[in-house]
A and B are shown apart, each in its own frame.
Chain A
Amino acid sequence: MNTASATRIFSSHWLTAFAITAGILFASHATAAPRTLETAYGEVAVDGQPERVVTLYEGALDTALTAGITPLGTIATRGGTGVAAYLQDKAKDVAIVGTSRELNLEAVVAQQPDLILASPQLSKEQYELLSGLAPVIVPPMAGWKTDNWKQEARLFAKALDREASIEQAIEAVEGRTEQLAESMHSRYAENDRSAYLVRWMPQGALVMSSQLFTTGLLSAAGFEVEDGGLVNGERPHSDLLSLENLSRVDGDWMFLATLNEEGRATLDAARKSSAFSRLDVVQRDRVIPVDGQLWTSASGPLAAQAVLDGIESVIQQ
C-alpha cells in the first residue's frame, strides 16, 4: 500500500512536470498529437514535431520550405545538380542526397531523418528500405491531375504538423489565380486565350499534358490550356509531334519550356526551323520561353507563386 501510494505520488509528479513541459513546448504550434496519414503504401503513423526532415521530391521540399521548415537533405532538380533556381535562396544549405532517378541511400542515412517526404512515384523496394529509417510519406495521388499538388501539400503539411500555414499558402495561390483570371479575361477576348506548353526538339515538338501542375495554374489564371488531343492521360507529355502537324499546337499563346537557363537561345534555335517560325503564334510573337525546371518539374505553393509571377508578367505586358 505504502509503496503503491508512493508510486502514485511519484508518477503524478512526473505527469505534472510532463504537462508543463509539453505546454511550453507546444504553445507556439498547438498540436503535435500522434496522427495517422493515408499514404500510397498504407497508413503511416507520425508523432510529435519532426525535426530531421529529408525530402525526396521537389514538391515536398517546396511544401516544407513554405511551412518554414528547412529539410536537412533533398534531391537535385531535374536537369541540375542542386535545388531548382527558384528555391536557391531558401534551400542553399540543404544537402543533396541524389536525384529523382537515383537516390544515394547512404546520404539519406547519414542525415538520420525522423521524417521522409517522398514522391508519389517512389518504388515499393525503395519505400521498404527507407521506412526502416523513419516514417516515409508517399502521396497516394497517381497519374496527372492539376490539383494533385494541393492534396500532396496538405498531406506533407499534416506530417510536418503545419497544416494551418500550408492551407493559408494554398488559399493565397488560389486567390492570386482568381485575380489573374479576372485580369486575363478583361484583357483578352474569349477566342484569344488558347495556350500550349511545349518542349522543342529539332525534329518536332513534345506537347505537355494540360493536367500538369503548371498547365493547371495556367488554366486557373484564365488561359485555355490545350494539348491538341495528343497526350495520353497516363503521361506527362505527348510523343514527338511531326513537324507536318505543328499547326496542332498553333494556339494564341505558346509557353516553351527549356531545361537550360538561356530560354531565349532555345527560342532562337527553334525559330531556325521554318516549320516553327511560320506558326501564327510565333509570327504574333506570343511564344514565351519558360524555365523547364520550374514549369515541368517543380510543384508546391512556392513553385506556384513563382509560376504565377511569370504568368502575371505575360498577362500584364
Chain B
Amino acid sequence: MTNAGSTRAGLGVTFCGAGIALAIVCLASLLIGAGNTGADLALATLLGQSSNEEARFVVYELRLPRMLMGLAAGAALGVAGALLQAVTRNPLAEPGLLGVSAGSGLAVAIAIALGSSATTLRISVAQLGALAGCLCVLAAARTRGVGSDPIRLVLAGAAFSGLLFALTSLLLLLDQRTADEIRFWLVGSIAGRSMDQVTAILPSMALAAVLILLVIRSLAALALGERTAVGLGHRPELVRLTVVVAVALLVGATTAVAGPIAFIGLVVPFAARALAGSDIRRALWLCLPLGPLTVIGADILSRVVVQPSELPLGVLTAMLGAPVLVAVVRANRLPSL
C-alpha cells in the first residue's frame, strides 16, 4: 500500500482518481439534501430545464455555497494536518495538537463573551487566536534554548491546548449566554454559510499556499532528520515557524466560518500518505482532493441521516473518523514519517 503510488505515473493515476471521486461527491452534494428538492429536480435545475423557484434557491443559494465551503475547509484542514505532521514528524499530530484549534476556540469564546454574535463572527478573530495559540506553544517549546526538538513541541502543544480549553470552559461556565451561542459553533458545520463567508477566507488560504510553496523543499529535507537538513543548508527553525503561520492561517480561517471540524486534519493526511508515500511533496498534493472529498462526503451524510433535521458535521466526522482510523491502524503497518 505504501509503495503503490510511489512512482510518478502511479501518483498521477491516484491523483486523477481522487479528483474524479471529488467531482462526483461535489455533484452529489448539489443533488442531495434534507429538503424536498430531490435529485431529479435539482439536476433539472442545474441543467437549466426547470423554472422551479424553490429548487433554484435550494441548489444555488444553499447547496452551492455549502459545497464550496466544504471544498475550502476540507483542503485547508487536510493540508494543515499534513504540514503539522511533517513538521513535528509525528503521524498523530493534527491542528488540535499545536494549540491551533484551542487558540481559535478561546478567541471566539472571548469575542462572543464581549458581545459579538456567532452569526457574524469575524475571521480575523479566530485567526489571531490560532496564531497566538500556536506561537505560545512554540515559545513554550523553546524556553530553555533547545527549541529544535519536535517531541518537546508536541508535549508543549498538548499542555497548552489543555490550558486553553480549560480557559474556554471557564469562560463558558461563567457566562451562560456565551455557552448558548457557542454550543452549535463548537461542533462545526458548513451549512448556512454565505458566499461572502466563503470568499472571505480565500485571501488567507492564498497567503498560506504561497508560504507553503516557499518552504516545501526544506520541509521535505527536514524529514531526513534535523542534522541532515541543516547540513543541506536548510534552516529548521525558520521552516517550522513558516509552517506554523501557514497552519494558523488555514485552520483559523476555516474555524472562524465552520467551527472546529474534528478528525479531518488527522485522517486525511493519513490516507494521503497511505496512497502516495511519505514524501510530503506528494502527500500534500493528494490532501487537496482528499480533504474536500471527506468533508463534503460527511456533509452529505449529515443531511440525510436525520431528515428533516441535520446532524452537525463535526459530530459526524468524529464518529466516522475514529473507526476509520482504528481500522487503518489495525489493518496496515503505519506509513511512517
A residues neighboring B (CB under 8 Å): 78-80, 99, 200-204, 230, 238-245, 247-248, 259-260, 265-266, 269-270, 272-275, 278
Known contacts A78-B176, A202-B193: does B120 contact A269 (CB below 8 Å)?
yes
A238 to B177, CA, bound (A): 20
Smallest Cβ-Cβ distance to B303: which chain A residue: A242
Which one of B58, B177, B180, B189 has the highest number of Cβ atoms from chain A below 10 Å of its Cβ? B177
Top 7 A-B residue pairs of the complex, sorted by shortest distance between their CB atoms: A244-B35, A242-B34, A239-B309, A269-B119, A203-B191, A203-B192, A245-B308
Q: Which A residues are CB-close (under 8 A) to B54?
A: 247
Residues of B near A202 (CB, < 8 A) are 118-119, 184, 189, 191-193
CB distance from B319 to the nearest CB of A (A): 16
Q: How far is the CB of B111 from chain A (nearest CB, A)?
A: 14
Contacts of B120 in A (CB 8 A): 269, 272
Chain A residues whose C-beta falls within 8 Å of the C-beta of B177 in the assembled complex = 79-80, 259-260
Contact B33 A269 (CB under 8 A): no
CB-based contact A245/B61 at 8 Å: no
Task: Provide the residues of chain A in CB contact with B179, threshold 8 Å.
Answer: 79
Pairs A–B under 8 Å by Cβ, sample size 18? A79-B177, A79-B180, A200-B119, A201-B184, A202-B193, A230-B309, A239-B306, A242-B35, A242-B303, A242-B308, A243-B192, A244-B36, A247-B54, A260-B181, A269-B117, A269-B120, A273-B194, A278-B57
Nearest residue, chain A, Cβ from B58: A244
What's the nearest-Cβ distance from chain A to residue B125, in Å?
A: 16
Residues in A neighbouring B35, C-beta threshold 8 A: 242, 244-245
Task: Establish whether residues A248 and B181, one from each chain, have CB atoms under 8 Å apart when the complex forms.
Answer: no
Contacts of B191 in A (CB 8 A): 202-204, 242-243
Asked whether, in the complex, the Cβ of A274 is within 8 Å of the Cβ of B194, the reply is yes
- B33-47 residues at the A interface, CB under 8 angstroms: 33-37
Given contacts A240-B309, A244-B62, A245-B34, is CB(A259)–CB(B119) below 8 Å?
A: no
Tell me if B226 is interfacial: C-beta within 8 Å of chain A.
no
Query: Would you give the 0/1 interface string for B49-65, flagging 1 where the beta carbon is closer than 8 Å to chain A?
Result: 00000100110011000
| B310 interface hit (Cβ, 8 Å) | yes
Known: A99-B176, A259-B180, A260-B177. A241 touches B309 (CB 8 A): yes
B105 CB–A CB distance under 8 Å: no
Q: How far is the CA of A10 from the CA of B252 in the complex (A)?
A: 85
Partner of A230, one of B34, B119, B308: B308
Q: List chain A residues, Cβ under 8 A from B157.
A: none
Smallest CB–CB gap between B175 and chain A, Å? 8
Q: Which of chain B's residues have a CB closer than 8 A to the CB of A242?
A: 33-35, 191, 303, 307-310
Q: Which residue of B lies closest to A274 (CB)?
A: B61
Residues on the B chain within 8 Å of A270, using CB: 119
B91 at the interface (CB under 8 A from A): no
Measured in the bound complex, the distance between the Cα atoms of B194 and A185 in whole Å is 40
Nearest chain B residue, comparing its CB with the CB of A77: B176
Q: How far is the CB of B237 from chain A (nearest CB, A)?
A: 40
Q: Given A242-B307, A260-B117, 6 other A-B contacts at CB below 8 A? A: A202-B191, A204-B309, A242-B310, A243-B192, A244-B62, A259-B177
Could you tell me the distance in whole angstroms from the C-beta of A97 to the nearest C-beta in chain B?
16
B74 within 8 A of A: no
State how many angstroms separate the Cβ of A287 from the closest Cβ of chain B: 15
Is A272's CB under 8 angstroms from B117's CB?
no
Cα–Cα distance between A185 and B306 once the two chains are bound (Å): 37
Q: Are A248 and B117 in contact (CB under 8 A)?
A: no
Chain B residues, Cβ within 8 Å of A203: 184, 189, 191-192, 310, 312
Chain B residues near A200 (CB-CB < 8 A): 119
A272-B308 CB under 8 A given contacts A242-B191, A244-B33, A259-B181: no
Nearest chain A CB to B60 CB, angstrom units: 10
A134 to B37, CA, bound (A): 59
CA gap between A305 and B243 in the complex, in Å: 60
| Smallest CB separation, B54 vs chain A (Å) | 8
Distance in angstroms from B186 CB to nearest chain A CB is: 12
The listed residue (A201, A243, A247) touching B62 by CB distance below 8 A is A243
Assembly CA distance A241 to B306 (angstroms) = 10
In the assembled complex, the Cα of A278 lies from the Cα of B56 at a distance in Å of: 13
